[in-house]
C-alpha cells in the first residue's frame, strides 16, 4: 500500500540521508537541557502527533486533551479505542479504570475489573479528568466519534486499537465508523486518519477489512529485517520506542519501504535526538511545547526553573532512606523562585511534590526524592515507599502552580 501523506513522503528522503549520516555514530542517549533550535528546516519537520490527545497538559484520552492536541497545530492527535460491554467504541488507554477515573467512588470493588466489562452507560458515570487536576473535574470517557468532532483537516487522528483481545470485533466497528460516519469520511478523504496497534493479528484483520486506511504496526523494539519486510505486506509505517531505536533499525524500516515513527518523545532534546536518527514522525505528550521547539520558538517562555537531571536507578533500593531516586531542580533565572508546592509529574501520573518554604536563589538546586529522608535546603523527601521513576528511562514535567515550567527525559 502506498503511504499517501506527501509531507511524510518528502520527509522520508531527508530521513534516509540522516540515516546514512548517523549509521556510523554510536547509539547515545539524548543530550539534556540544550533547547537549541531544531537541526531540520521547517520543510523537513517531522509529522507531529499528540499522544492520547496531549496527555502532558490535560487528562489523557479526553476531549480536553484532544483540544490541546488540536491547539498545538500538530498533524494528528492519537487516541486509544476499545469496546464497552455493550459494544460501544470508547476512548481509554488502560485495561482497568483504576488509574485515571474515580471508579472506587462510583463502583466500589470494580476498580480492577476490565474496563471493557463496563457498559457505555456505566462508563459515562466515571470522571476521567479530576485525577489530573481539579479544573478538569467532570471530563467524561469519550465516544470514538468525539475525537472526530474535535479533529480537523489540519489536525487528524491516529486511532490505536487497544488490547483487541478484550474487544472482539473492534476492527470491524472502527472500519464501519470510518466508512459510514460523515465526520470520519471527511478526515479519511483528507488523509488525516491512521489506524495503529501492537497486535499484528489485529492489524492484519483491519488491513483485510479496510485496505484503504493507513495502517501502522507498533512495536517496542524494531525486529529483524525479515519481520519488518513481512509487515510491509499489510502496513504503511512502523512506530517504536525512541529509546530502543538504532541507526540499523532506521535503515531496516526505510529499506522495507515503510515510514518510521517514534513514541513517546517528550522533551525537546529527545525530539532532536530522534530527528538526528532519521525518524519521520514523532508522538509526544507535549505537542504544544514541542511544536514550539520545531518552529524555533521558546519552548517554555518565561520559565525560571528547570529539571536539570533525574537519578532513576541509584545503587541499592530506589527508595532507600536519604539516598534513593530523585529529580534535580535548578533555578536558571536571575531572581529567587518560590517552588513550594511544585509538582513533578511523570507520564503515568505519578507525582512528586515540593514542600512549603522552598525558595531557590539564582543558580540554586533542589533534589526532590521519592522516598524518605531528612529535609534540608538542598533536598526534599516525599516519604514514599515505592519507586516512581522508570529505571530504563522516564519523562517528567515540572509544574509550579498552573504553569508548566519544563519537561525532562532520560
pLDDT digits (tens, 9 = 90+) for 261-314: 999 999 999 999 999 999 999 999 999 999 999 999 999 999 999 999 999 999
DSSP for residue 155: S
- Pair 382, 240 in one domain: no
- Pair 73, 11 in one domain: yes
Q: What is the CATH number of the domain that holds 356?
A: 2.60.40.1260
Residues whose CB falls within 8 Å of the CB of residue 314, separated by 6 or more in sequence, listed in order: 320, 323, 324, 325
Q: What is the CATH number of the domain that holds 27?
A: 3.20.20.190
Integer Cα distance of 43 and 53 in angstroms: 24
Chosen domain end from 246, 271, 294: 294
What is the pLDDT, as a whole number, of residue 386? 95
- Pair 364, 334 in one domain: yes
- Domain range for 324 is 305-409
- Pair 184, 322 in one domain: no
- Structural domain includes residue 189: yes
Strand order in the sheet with 343-346: 351-353, 343-346, 395-400, 403-409
Chosen domain end from 294, 314, 335: 294
- Structural domain includes residue 404: yes
On whether the CB atoms of residues 345 and 370 are closer than 8 A, the answer is no
- Structural domain includes residue 262: yes
- As beta bridge partners, residue 306 has 330
- Reported as a single tens digit per residue, the pLDDT across 77-129 is 999 999 999 999 999 999 999 999 999 999 999 999 999 999 999 999 999 99
C-beta atoms surrounding 35 within 10 Å? 15
- Pair 283, 360 in one domain: no
- Structural domain includes residue 1: no
Q: Can you list the residues of the chain whose pLDDT is less than 70?
A: 1-43
What is the pLDDT, as a whole number, of residue 17? 36
- Structural domain includes residue 224: yes
- Pair 119, 233 in one domain: yes
Q: How many domains does the chain have?
A: 2
- Pair 168, 195 in one domain: yes
- Pair 133, 261 in one domain: yes
Q: Are strands 403-409 and 326-331 parallel, antiparallel or unpaired?
A: unpaired
What is the pLDDT, as a whole number, of residue 30? 58
What is the pLDDT, as a whole number, of residue 44? 75
On whether the CB atoms of residues 62 and 129 are closer than 8 A, the answer is yes
On whether the CB atoms of residues 53 and 66 are closer than 8 A, the answer is yes
Q: Residue 123 corresponds to which cell in the numbers above?
A: 462508563
- Pair 258, 314 in one domain: no
388 in helix, strand or coil? coil
- Pair 84, 54 in one domain: yes
- Pair 192, 94 in one domain: yes
Q: Residue 126 corresponds to which cell in the numbers above?
A: 466515571
Chosen domain end from 243, 267, 294: 294
Integer Cα distance of 104 and 117 in angstroms: 15
- Pair 251, 353 in one domain: no
- Structural domain includes residue 300: no
Amino acid at each position: 500500500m502506498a503511504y499517501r501523506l506527501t509531507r511524510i513522503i518528502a520527509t522520508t528522503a531527508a530521513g534516509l540521508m540522516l540515516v546514512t549520516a548517523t549509521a556510523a555514530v554510536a547509539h547515545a542517549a539524548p543530550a539534556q537541557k540544550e533547547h537549541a533550535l531544531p537541526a531540520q528546516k521547517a520543510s523537513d519537520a517531522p509529522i507531529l502527533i499528540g499522544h492520547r490527545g496531549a496527555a502532558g497538559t490535560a487528562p489523557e484520552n479526553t476531549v480536553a486533551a484532544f483540544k490541546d492536541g488540536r491547539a498545538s497545530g500538530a498533524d494528528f492527535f492519537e487516541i486509544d479505542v476499545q469496546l464497552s460491554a455493550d459494544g460501544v467504541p470508547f476512548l481509554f488507554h488502560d485495561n482497568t479504570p483504576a488509574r485515571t477515573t474515580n471508579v472506587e467512588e462510583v463502583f466500589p470493588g470494580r476498580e480492577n475489573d476490565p474496563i471493557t466489562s463496563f457498559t457505555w452507560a456505566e462508563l459515562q458515570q466515571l470522571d476521567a479528568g479530576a485525577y489530573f487536576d481539579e479544573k478538569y473535574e467532570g471530563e467524561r470517557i469519550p465516544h470514538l466519534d468525539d475525537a472526530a468532532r474535535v479533529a480537523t483537516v489540519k489536525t487528524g487522528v491516529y486511532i490505536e486499537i487497544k488490547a483487541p483481545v478484550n474487544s472482539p470485533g473492534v476492527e470491524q466497528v472502527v472500519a464501519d465508523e470510518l466508512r459510514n460516519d460523515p465526520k470520519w469520511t471527511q478526515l479519511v478523504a483528507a488523509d488525516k486518519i491512521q489506524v495503529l496497534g501492537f497486535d499484528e493479528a489485529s492489524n492484519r484483520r483491519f488491513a483485510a477489512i479496510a485496505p484503504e486506511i493507513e495502517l501502522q504496526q507498533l512495536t517496542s523494539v524494531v525486529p529483524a529485517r525479515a519481520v519488518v519486510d513481512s509487515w510491509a505486506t499489510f502496513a504503511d509505517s512502523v512506530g517504536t520506542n525512541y529509546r530502543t531505536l538504532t541507526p540499523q533499525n532506521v535503515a531496516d524500516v526505510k529499506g522495507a519501504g515503510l515510514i518510521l515513527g517514534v513514541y513517546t518523545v517528550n522533551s525537546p532534546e529527545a525530539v532532536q535526538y530522534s530527528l538526528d536518527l532519521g525518524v519521520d514522525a514523532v508522538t509526544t505528550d507535549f505537542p504544544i511545547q514541542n511544536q514550539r521547539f520545531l518552529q524555533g520558538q521558546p519552548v517554555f517562555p518565561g520559565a525560571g526553573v528547570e529539571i536539570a537531571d533525574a537519578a532513576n536507578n541509584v545503587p541499592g533500593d530506589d527508595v532507600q532512606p536519604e539516598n534513593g531516586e530523585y529529580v534535580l531542580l535548578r533555578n536558571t533565572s536571575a531572581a529567587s523562585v518560590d517552588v513550594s508546592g511544585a509538582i513533578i509529574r511523570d507520564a503515568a501520573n505519578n507525582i512528586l511534590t515540593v514542600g512549603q518554604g522552598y525558595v531557590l536563589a539564582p543558580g540554586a538546586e533542589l533534589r526532590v526524592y521519592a522516598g524518605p529522608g531528612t529535609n534540608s535546603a538542598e533536598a526534599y523527601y516525599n516519604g514514599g515507599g515505592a519507586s516512581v521513576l522508570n529505571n530504563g528511562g522516564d519523562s517528567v514535567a515540572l509544574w509550579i502552580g498552573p504553569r508548566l515550567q519544563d519537561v525532562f527525559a532520560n
